[in-house]
Amino acid sequence: MASVVPTPRIAAIWFLPVLAIALLFAAVIATRPPLAGDPAVTLVLERILLWHSLVPRFVTALLCGAALGLSGALLQRVLRNPIADPSTLGIASGAQLALTIATAYAPALIAFSREGVAFGGGIAAVTIVLALSWRRGLDPVTVVLSGMVLSLVAAALSATVILAKGEYVLSLFIWGAGSLNQQSWDAAIALGPRLILGCIAAALLLRPLALLGLDDSGARSLGLALHSARFLVLAIAVWLAATVTAEVGVIGFVGLAAPALARFAGARRMRDVLIASPFIGAILLSLTDSAVQLLGSGTADLAPTGAATALLGGPILLWMLRRVPLTIPPQANLPHGPLRRIARPWLAAAGLALVAALLAILALVAGRGPDGWNLATGSLFLDLLPFRAPRIVAAGTAGAMLGAAGTLMQRLTANPLAGPEVLGVSAGGGVGLAVMLMLTPGMEPLHLLLGAVAGSLAVILAMLLLASRPGFGPTRLLLAGVAMGALCMAIVSTVLAQGDMRSYALLLWMSGSTNRVGDFEAWTGVVACLALISPLFLFSRWLDILPLGEGMSGSIGLSRRASRLTLATFAAVLTGLASLLIGPLSLIGLIAPHLARLAGFAHGRHQLAAAVLIGCATMVLADWLSRVVAFPYQVPVGLFAALIGGPYLIWLLSRAGPHHG
Amino acid sequence: MSPTCLFTRRHALALLAGVAAASPAQAAALRVATVDWAVLETLLALGVTPVAATELLQFREVAVEPEVPAGVADLGLRGTVNFEMLRLARPDLIFSSSFYVSSEPRMRRIAPLESFSIYARGVQPFAASETMTRAIGERLGVSEAAERYLAETHAEFATLRAKLGRLDGRPVIPINLGDARHFRVFGADSMFGEALARLGIANAWTEATSYSAMAPVGLEALARVPEAWIVLIPPVPPDAMRILAGSVFWNALPNVRQGRLLTLGSINPYGALPAARRFARLLTEALGHAGASGRG
C-alpha cells in the first residue's frame, strides 16, 4: 500500500487520536483492582493477565476495528454506496444467525470451524441482499433497505432459537453484542494475517476499484471484467467482517463510521479513504473498548463493546444521510402502468371482512389437542374460548391497527415502502417499553402500554421533524427511519444484555408472542381500533390530497402542518399499541396497505379500509398457524408474520423496473 | 393501612391455610399441573406425578432427575405456556412462580393457583425451597413425604459435609461457560452458592450477583481465584474446551495447572431441593474422584 505523505497537518491529525488510545489503555491497566493473595503467585498471574488478556484485548480491538473499517470502505466502494457496511448489509446478522443455529442444532460444525460457519452466514446474507437489488442496479437505498430488513428477520430468528433452547441469557448476550474480552492471542493471531491479506488484496485491486467508481459502461469500455472484480472485492469484505463476527461477535457500524470520518477529515481520493479507514476504525473501536472497561466494575464491563458501538451507529447514519446521492426513490419502481381499480370497492371490502371473519371462526374452532386435530364444539369450545379469543382478538386488532398506521405513513410520506416497522416506530415503542421496565417495579400492563405509545410517538415526531427539513425527500426519510430503528434496537439489546426478568419480558416482546395476551390487552385492542381507526375515515380527504405533493395540497387550502401532525400522531399511537401486542418485527404495517393498493383500492378511504381488513385477516391467520404448527410448543406470532412479511418486502424491493446507473 | 388490620388479614390467611391442610384425604386425589421447573422437581421428589408441566424435552436433558413419568403432558416452552393444553389437562390446582406473574389471571381461570418465589431479589433460594416443599406437602396432603424429604435432604447434606471435611477445604467457584471467553458465575444468592454454604465449602466468588447468577464475566476474572476449584456446570459449548486447552492464560491458571478443574453432570441452575442435592452429590463425588485430599 502506498504511504501517506507525512505533512505536519496529517501528523497532527494522527497524533492526537493515537495519544488518546494510548492514554486510555494506560488508564485501563492502571485502574485494574490488584489481585489478592500470595505475592509470589499473584505476580505471575498479574503478568499473565497483562500479556494474555489486557494486551491481546487491546490489539484485538485495534485489529477488529481496522478489519471492519477496511471492510466498510471496500463495500462502500464496490457498491458505490456511502452507507454500506457489514451491519447495514446484514452480513453481521447473517453470520451471527448462522453461528446461533449451528450452536443450537449442529455443534459439530462449530467445533469444526466457527469462521467457516460465520462466513457461510455472511455470504448467504449478502448474496440474498445483492441478488434482490441486482435488477435495480444495486441502488444504494434498495441495497441497504434489503440488508436492514434481512437483519431484522435474522434477529427475530435468532431470538426464537434462543427462546426455544431455554438457556437464553448467556448465549443471547454473546449473540446480541460483540464483547472483546480476551484471554489469549488467538483472535489477534486469526485476525492479523487476514487483515494483512485483505490490505494486500485491496492494494492490488486499487486500479480496478478506482474504475468501479465509474459508470458500468465507462468501466467496461476500459476493459475491466466488472462483475468479477466486484465479486472479488465483495468476497474479501464479507470474509473480513465474518471473521470479526466469528471471533468477537457483532460489532455494529464501525465499518460505516470509519470511511465516513475519513472523508470528513479530508480524504478525497479512493486511495486515501482505503488507507485511512482501517486506521480510523481501529482508533474508534479501541476508544470505545477502553471506555466500557474504565466505566465498568473492574471485573465486568459497563456494556458489551458491540452494543456501545451500535449506539453510536444510529446518529452517525443519520448524519451521513446528507451525503447519500439522491437516486430515483424505490417507489418509482413500484407498480407502474395504470393500476387496476376495483369497480365497487365497498363491496370488495365487505368481502375482505367476510374472509377475516371466517378466519377468526376457523381460529376459534380448529386446533390441536393431546389427541391430535380437533374441531372444538359445545363444552370444549366454551372451555377453550377464554384462551383462544383474547389472542385472536389481540392479533386481529393489532394487524388492523398496523394496517391503518401503515396506510397513514405511506400516504404521509408519499412512499409505498414506508411503514411502522421500516420507519423505526415499532422499535421506538420497544425503547419506551424498556424504559418503563427499568423505571417501574411491577410489569403493569398500563405502564407498558404508555411506555410503548410514548416511544413510538417520540420516533415518529423525530421522523417528521427530519422530513420537514428542506431537501429531505422520501428516500432520505426511509433511511433515517432505518437508522432510527437500528439505534432503538441497539438500546433494546443493551437492556436485553442485563439478563434478568426485564430482559426476559423484552425478549418475549421482541419475538411478538400473543400467548401472554389476556383480556386487558384484547379489550385495549378492540377499544383502540374503534376509537382510533374510525375517525380516520373523517380525514380521508387528507389522505387523497397529501400524496399529491406540497404545492398542490397547499393550494387546495389544507393546513399541511396541522394535517400531517394529526395523522402522524394517530399513526404513532396505533403503532405503539399494536407493537405492544405483537412485537416490533411483524412487517404487517408495510404489507397490508401495499396489498390493498395492489388489489386496486385506490382512494385513501378505500385503501385504509382494505388495509385494516387485510392486516386483521393476515394476523389472525398467522396467529392460528403459530399456535398449531409445532403444538404444544408455540412459535411467536410476530416472528411468524415477519417470516411472511420480510420476504414479501424484499421481493417488492427487487421488482424489475427501469434501470438507472 | 394500620398494623392491626394487616395482622388480622394474615391471621385470616393462616386460618384458611389451616382449613385447606385439614382435609388431606380430599387433597390427595388432586390433579396438579405446574408451569415452573423448581415445583416440578419438588413434586416428583415427593412422589406426586403432575398431570402437566412445561418443556419436558429440555427438563429431561437439563435437570435429569427426578425422572418424569411418560404420562405427563407437555405444556410447551416455559416462556410461552400453552394454556389450551393446560386447560385440556384439567388440573384441580396449578403451581406457578414469580416468572409467571403476568399470566396468573389466565391460569386462575383454569384452576386455583399457588405461586412460589424462590428466585427473586433478596430471597434465599434454599430456605425458600424448604418452605415451598413443606407448603406443597401440606397443600397436597403429603406432608409426611415432604417432612421425610426435608429430613433426607438434611441428612444427605450432613453426610456429604462430613465427607468433604476430610478433603482439602479449598473454595469452589461454580461457573457455566458461555463460550471460550466468558462465563456465568453463581454467587452466594444462588442455589449452588447456598448448597456450598451448607456443605461447609466457601464460594470463591464473593462479589455481588443478581437473581442468583451473573453473566457474562470475562474468563480473566478466574485469575482472581487461584486457590479455588473451578466447577463447570454444563452445558459446555462444543469448541470451548478445545480452545481453552491451547490457551496460555487458561493453562497458566494455578487451578488448571494443578488439576483443580471439574465438570459436573447437567443440573438445573434454577431448581429446588432436588437440584441442590444433585449438585451437592455430584460435586462431592467429583471432588472425591479428583483426590482433593491429596493436594493443598
Query: How far is the C-alpha of A529 from the C-alpha of A521, rounded, in Å?
Result: 12
Q: Indicate the range of A147-151, A457-461, B11-15 predicted with least confidence.
A: B11-15
Asked whether residue A265 is assigned to any structural domain, the reply reads yes
Q: Distance from B263 to chain A by nearest Cα, in Å?
A: 18
Find, among A290, A132, A206, the residue nearest to A647 by Cα.
A132
The reply to whether A419 and A308 lie within a common domain is no
Which CATH number is A48's domain given?
1.10.3470.10
Contact A300 B176 (CB under 8 A): no
pLDDT the model gives residue A69: 94
Find, among A371, A156, A521, A387, the residue nearest to B81 by Cα.
A387
Q: What is the mean pLDDT of chain A?
A: 78
- One-letter amino acid at A643 equals L
pLDDT the model gives residue A449: 81
Strands (E), A231-385: 366-369, 372-375
Find, among A575, A617, A578, A577, the residue nearest to A595 by Cα.
A617
Asked whether residue A336 is assigned to any structural domain, the reply reads no
pLDDT the model gives residue A292: 84
Segment A474-492 shows an average pLDDT of: 74
Pairwise pLDDT comparison (B190 vs A148), residue with the higher score: B190
Q: Distance from A264 to chain B by nearest Cα, in Å?
A: 36
The reply to whether A315 and A357 lie within a common domain is no
Question: A224 falls in which pLDDT band (50, 70, 90)?
Answer: low
CA atoms within 13 A on the CB side of A419: 29
Asked whether residue A7 is assigned to any structural domain, the reply reads no
Which of A170, A185, A520 to mutate to test binding with chain B, by most B CBs within 10 Å of its CB?
A170
Per-residue pLDDT tens over the stretch A504-522: 777 777 777 788 788 888 9
Cβ-contact B142, B25 below 8 angstroms: no
pLDDT the model gives residue A166: 56
User: Residue B230: which domain range?
Assistant: 151-289
The reply to whether B104 and B41 lie within a common domain is yes
Q: Which residue has the cell 449438585?
A: B279
The reply to whether A311 and A361 lie within a common domain is no
A-chain CB neighbours of B77 within 8 Å are: 163-164, 166, 633-634
Q: Chain A residue with minimal CA distance to B209?
A: A500
Asked whether residue B122 is assigned to any structural domain, the reply reads no
Asked whether residue B142 is assigned to any structural domain, the reply reads no
Residue A5 has pLDDT above 60, yes or no: no
Asked whether residue B146 is assigned to any structural domain, the reply reads no
Strands (E), A303-403: 366-369, 372-375
Q: Is A383 on the interface with B (CB under 8 A)?
A: yes
Q: Is A523 on the interface with B (CB under 8 A)?
A: no
Q: Is A127 on the interface with B (CB under 8 A)?
A: no
Q: Chain A residue with minimal CA distance to B240?
A: A111
Percent of chain A with pLDDT over 70: 79
Asked whether residue B56 is assigned to any structural domain, the reply reads yes
Asked whether residue B215 is assigned to any structural domain, the reply reads yes
Q: Is A628 on the interface with B (CB under 8 A)?
A: no
Residue A382 has pLDDT above 50, yes or no: yes
Contact B184 A170 (CB under 8 A): yes
- Binding-face residues of A in 298-317 toward B, CB within 8 A: 299-301
Cβ-contact A406, A613 below 8 angstroms: no
Contact B62 A166 (CB under 8 A): yes
Query: How far is the C-alpha of A431 from the C-alpha of A428, rounded, in Å?
Result: 5
Q: Indicate the range of A269-278, A279-288, A290-299, A493-502 predicted with least confidence.
A: A493-502
Task: Name the domain count of chain B.
Answer: 2
Asked whether residue B13 is assigned to any structural domain, the reply reads no
The reply to whether A580 and A511 lie within a common domain is yes
The reply to whether A280 and A425 lie within a common domain is no
Cβ-contact A148, B185 below 8 angstroms: no
Task: Name the domain count of chain A.
Answer: 2
The reply to whether B197 and B276 lie within a common domain is yes
Pairwise pLDDT comparison (A430 vs A172), residue with the higher score: A430
pLDDT the model gives residue B17: 47
Q: Indicate the range of A328-332, A428-432, B33-37, B233-237 predicted with least confidence.
A: A328-332
pLDDT the model gives residue A225: 61
The reply to whether B71 and B192 lie within a common domain is no
Which of B62, B224, B244 to mutate to test binding with chain A, by most A CBs within 10 Å of its CB?
B224
Q: Chain A residue with minimal CA distance to B78?
A: A166
Contact B82 A634 (CB under 8 A): yes
Segment A420-430 shows an average pLDDT of: 83
Q: What is the mean pLDDT of chain B?
A: 83
Q: Quick one: cell of A506? A: 423484552
The reply to whether A507 and A624 lie within a common domain is yes
Q: Is A636 on the interface with B (CB under 8 A)?
A: yes
Find, among A112, A136, A109, A45, the residue nearest to A330 by Cα.
A136
The secondary element (H helix, E strand) that includes residue B173 is: strand B172-177
pLDDT the model gives residue A294: 85
Asked whether residue B129 is assigned to any structural domain, the reply reads no
Question: B295 falls in which pLDDT band (50, 70, 90)?
Answer: very low
pLDDT the model gives residue B43: 95
pLDDT the model gives residue A169: 44
Residue A328 has pLDDT above 70, yes or no: no
Question: A332 falls in which pLDDT band (50, 70, 90)?
Answer: very low
Q: Is A164 on the interface with B (CB under 8 A)?
A: yes
The reply to whether B94 and B191 lie within a common domain is no
Q: Is A440 on the interface with B (CB under 8 A)?
A: no
Asked whether residue A1 is assigned to any structural domain, the reply reads no
User: Residue A48: which domain range?
Assistant: 12-323
Asked whether residue A661 is assigned to any structural domain, the reply reads no
Residue B144 has pLDDT above 90, yes or no: yes
The reply to whether B68 and B160 lie within a common domain is no
B-chain CB neighbours of A35 within 8 Å are: 223-224, 226
Cβ-contact A191, A67 below 8 angstroms: yes
Q: What is the pTM (predicted TM-score) of this model?
A: 0.79
Query: How far is the C-alpha of A205 from the C-alpha of A237, rounded, in Å?
Result: 12
Q: Is A500 on the interface with B (CB under 8 A)?
A: yes
Contact A518 B252 (CB under 8 A): no
Contact A35 B218 (CB under 8 A): no
Q: Is A346 on the interface with B (CB under 8 A)?
A: no
A-chain CB neighbours of B89 within 8 Å are: 370
pLDDT the model gives residue B160: 94
Residue A12 has pLDDT above 70, yes or no: no
What is the sign, positive or negative, of the torsion defined by CA atoms of A5, A9, A12, A13?
negative
Contact B85 A42 (CB under 8 A): no
The reply to whether B42 and B159 lie within a common domain is no
B-chain CB neighbours of A632 within 8 Å are: 73-76, 82, 85
Query: How far is the C-alpha of A46 from the C-alpha of A54, rounded, in Å?
Result: 10
Per-residue pLDDT tens over the stretch A539-562: 877 777 766 555 445 555 556 667
pLDDT the model gives residue A161: 74
A52, A501, A632 member nearest B76 (Cβ): A632
B-chain CB neighbours of A634 within 8 Å are: 76-77, 80, 82
The reply to whether B109 and B172 lie within a common domain is no
A-chain CB neighbours of B102 within 8 Å are: 443, 445, 505, 516, 518
Find, among A136, A141, A275, A126, the residue nearest to A209 by Cα.
A275
Question: B145 falls in which pLDDT band (50, 70, 90)?
Answer: very high
Question: B15 falls in which pLDDT band (50, 70, 90)?
Answer: very low
ipTM (interface pTM): 0.77
The reply to whether A305 and A427 lie within a common domain is no
- Binding-face residues of A in 559-618 toward B, CB within 8 A: none
Residue A394 has pLDDT above 90, yes or no: yes
The reply to whether A314 and A419 lie within a common domain is no
Per-residue pLDDT tens over the stretch A253-263: 788 888 888 88
The reply to whether B169 and B280 lie within a common domain is yes
Contact A636 B80 (CB under 8 A): yes
The reply to whether A317 and A359 lie within a common domain is no
The reply to whether A197 and A268 lie within a common domain is yes
| Residue B76 zone, left/alpha/beta (φ > 0; ψ -120 to 50; rest) | left
Q: For chain A, what is the total number of helices (H) and then of strands (E)? A: 28, 2
B-chain CB neighbours of A118 within 8 Å are: none
Tell me the C-alpha to C-alpha distance, in Å, between residue A645 and each of A34, A196, A355, A428, A491.
Answer: 53, 41, 20, 20, 24
The reply to whether A392 and A317 lie within a common domain is no
Size of interface A-B (CB pairs under 8 A): 178
Per-residue pLDDT tens over the stretch B74-126: 998 887 888 989 998 999 999 998 878 878 888 998 999 999 988 877 788 99
B238 CB-contact burial (10 Å; exposed 0-12 / middle 13-18 / buried 19+): middle
- One-letter amino acid at A532 equals L
Find, among B236, B181, B256, the residue nearest to A111 by Cα.
B236
Tell me the C-alpha to C-alpha distance, in Å, between residue A60 and each of A156, A245, A324, A400.
Answer: 29, 12, 32, 49
Q: Indicate the range of A387-396, A486-495, B267-276 predicted with least confidence.
A: A486-495
Contact A184 B76 (CB under 8 A): no
pLDDT the model gives residue B283: 94
Asked whether residue A330 is assigned to any structural domain, the reply reads no
Per-residue pLDDT tens over the stretch A167-205: 544 555 555 567 787 777 888 888 999 999 988 988 887
Asked whether residue B262 is assigned to any structural domain, the reply reads yes
Residues with Cβ within 8 Å of A101's Cβ and at least 6 positions away in sequence, in order, are A157, A161
Which CATH number is B172's domain given?
3.40.50.1980
Pairwise pLDDT comparison (A570 vs A448), residue with the higher score: A570
The reply to whether B275 and B200 lie within a common domain is yes
Query: How far is the C-alpha of A476 from the C-alpha of A325, rounded, in Å?
Result: 10
Segment A324-340 shows an average pLDDT of: 47
Contact A632 B73 (CB under 8 A): yes
The reply to whether A311 and A428 lie within a common domain is no
Residue A386 has pLDDT above 80, yes or no: yes
